[in-house]
Structure 1
């Protein structure tokens, strides 16, 4: 560990003058724990939280290298790129772009429309200007108006034919004042506006994308099929595509509802209705509650509730120091297994509503901040005959959630 707080305390103390030379000097050597009074006395509250929320594994294992800027702890080109963007102050722009594409890829648009939008915004369509740049001999003029060069801006927005299409569409967009805006920004601005107002499943987003697609199809019909149709066919084609798309969505929804109805009896039941497939198995729900206050000092609590053969066996909660909600959830799972071990339970089934923690327990790649916690969780599981950790819903773990919130608020059960 080579953090800045190892060398000099933030409140002015020189660590070496008080006998702190290494990270181990901040620990109580007899029980593998942080020396909490010393840490709070020497460091600022914010740094103390960072130190105390670093989990010290109780099991001995070989040190491993991990990339702290990555959620998985593994070094990836993507994470290095994000790190450099952050240093240059360009991360917000990159994150906004990532959020835009995440929404587009997650939308219910047809795959070929999504790929078309990606190619359009990355200037990867075979317009005349793009072909000429690649030394392909084509005439530069627009196939619609035959007056100006055909680039992305002109073909999809600035050409008088395209401008009339936009004005005559259901969106009624006037493009006269948009010619100074690059097409990529113009497209993204409209899509983000529609998503903001209409949310993810915006009908206006679909209308906008299909209008662009219809303009492209009309242009290609002229180029490759020599079909010189009336430009009004663009709006007609768009309306047909939208109608087919809507009918396809309705058919899929009807099919989905029918499938759900026919298999409803086979759906997963709540934990409270699951019969114990083995005598004396302990069913436990765990949860964590984490909140960052205005002074940036987080407060966290964990809770657990266990039952055996349908009868409440034990429950509890605890206040912890954690740096994130993810770490709090991992602490809850660890404490739940530990409490079951203390009571001599041999068959355990734990339910947590944290997808990330449950997935990480069975994966060789785990988030950096909970890597040591996961190592101890795996070690504790080996002490049971059976120990399953499963994903549950928020309603499944509601008892543990209430206990965790109470602990975060300083209310502990006896």
Structure 2
């Protein structure tokens, strides 16, 4: 959970710290079990008195190291295993692996290859549901005691199971032959085995399809053809499922042409999504890669000649296990044109990038009343990237990024530039000294 005003997060029941808050023993009036994080906040800041009264030293330091937003924003649910807080099927899979939830070796290899594929996210979820046998076909719903027509929506004669719907129905067989020239005759086992063997044979194209349940001849596909073939297989299954739902919920009649048109439409969507993703990666590479003559920078406003004031910032952070100073860090800023102007102070910080971003925020707060055009040098490339792409920034700095944005609103110009460590040596000296 990313904390905003704390109204939607329960202190002891929600996952908002790295470990459960440890309440101090022997408190005369302990916080109730359903207490909200907002109870620990007063006028937009942490209420240190309440926090120190109720929690252990370790919990206090972790809470106070969280930067609160200046605006009255709501709490946001995040996915902790991913650094950017975004859930993906891939991160869920690897989290399960880390927790010891494993599958047989063959299926593990299949999923490892599958998650790497450039596919629409909805397709990945779709295939995952099929492989886990949780897609709500009629046979599955009947087992849950749901009153439903169990016959296939296409042929009206056989019971709608995964195998029948996607592969064995005469209607589906005609679709496979019409879209790809495939014949799905024969005993193929479960649909999961059929999908696994089919996709594995595409990914391992030099195997001449000997393990595939779909016969396409003894062709060896080049990488481009293999990608197209995989997309066509999944698009065909997706189109079958969409048309099945159209018949179920819109009272449509089975239409082979409609299914093939839907498959073609989604093949084009997949191609467009892949092309867009490649372009975005190229754009990001162009923006974030530091050319020989330029530094990565985040800027706002227009600079007037002769007005710019330059500063160095740095954060000193080092995690020391089992040390009473484990959460202590220090930040500093120095005026490059007048090195006698500097400030340094200790803070509570849980990550290096958080400490560096707080150094930038503190510098801005200290000098914005005096100077209207400033340039800040930092040796943290990560924090500059976080400013450029706030939605993809690490969770621990998102509120700080928002606060930096708010603080610079009245400045005529600001630039925050990523430089080499030696270019912030004066700030590094003061920060390191302050931490000791």
Q: Which runs of structure 2 are paired with 1:6-405 in the superposition (5 Å)?
A: 10-11=22-23, 13=25, 17-18=29-30, 21-27=35-41, 29-30=42-43, 32-57=44-69, 59-63=70-74, 65-69=76-80, 70-88=82-100, 124-127=204-207, 130=210, 135=215, 267=293, 278-295=305-322, 297-307=326-336, 310-312=337-339, 314-342=341-369, 344-365=370-391, 366-405=393-432
Deviation, structure 1 residue 9:
5.8
Aligned residues: 253
CA contact (8 A) 1:346 1:384 kept: yes
- C-alpha displacement of 1:316: 1.2
1:9 and 1:42 in contact (8 A); partners too? no
CA distance in 1, matches of 2:36, 2:11: 11
List, as ranges, runs of 4+ consecutive aligned residues in structure 1 with deviation greater than 6 Å.
Answer: 5-8, 119-123
Distance 1:385 1:334 in 2: 17
Secondary structure at the counterpart of residue 320 of structure 1: strand
More helix by share: 1
CA offsets 1:192-238 (integer angstroms, 9 cap, x no match): xxxxxxxxxxxxxxxxxxxxxxxxxxxxxxxxxxxxxxxxxxxxxxx
Paired with 1:121 and 1:318, the residues of 2 have a C-alpha distance of 61
CA change 1:61–1:388 in 2 (3 A) is farther
Q: Which has the higher contact order (CA 8 A, sep 6+)?
A: 1
- Kept in 1: contact 2:344–2:430 (CA 8 A): yes
Query: Closer, same or farther in 2 for the Cα pair 1:402/1:5, shift >3 Å?
Result: farther
What is the TM-score with the length of structure 1 in the denominator?
Answer: 0.51
User: Equivalent residue of 1:126, what SS?
Assistant: helix
Give the match's secondary structure for 2:315.
strand
Q: Residue 369 of structure 1: CA displacement?
A: 1.3
Contact 1:66–1:74 (8 Å) recurs in 2: no
Which stretches in structure 1 are left out of the alignment for 5+ residues? 103-118, 139-263, 270-275, 410-414
Q: Distance in 2 between matches of 1:132 and 1:84?
A: 29
Q: Secondary structure at the match of 1:384?
A: coil
Aligned CA RMSD, in angstroms, stands at: 4.1
- The answer to whether the Cα contact below 8 Å between 2:30 and 2:54 also exists between their aligned partners in 1 is no
Q: 1: CA distance between counterparts of 2:432 and 2:95?
A: 34
Unaligned runs of 5+ in 2: 1-8, 117-198, 219-290, 296-302
Describe the shift of the 1:42–1:121 C-alpha distance in structure 2 as closer, same or farther (beyond 3 A).
farther
Change in Cα spacing, 1:354 to 1:89, as seen in structure 2 (3 Å) is farther
TM-score (norm 2): 0.49
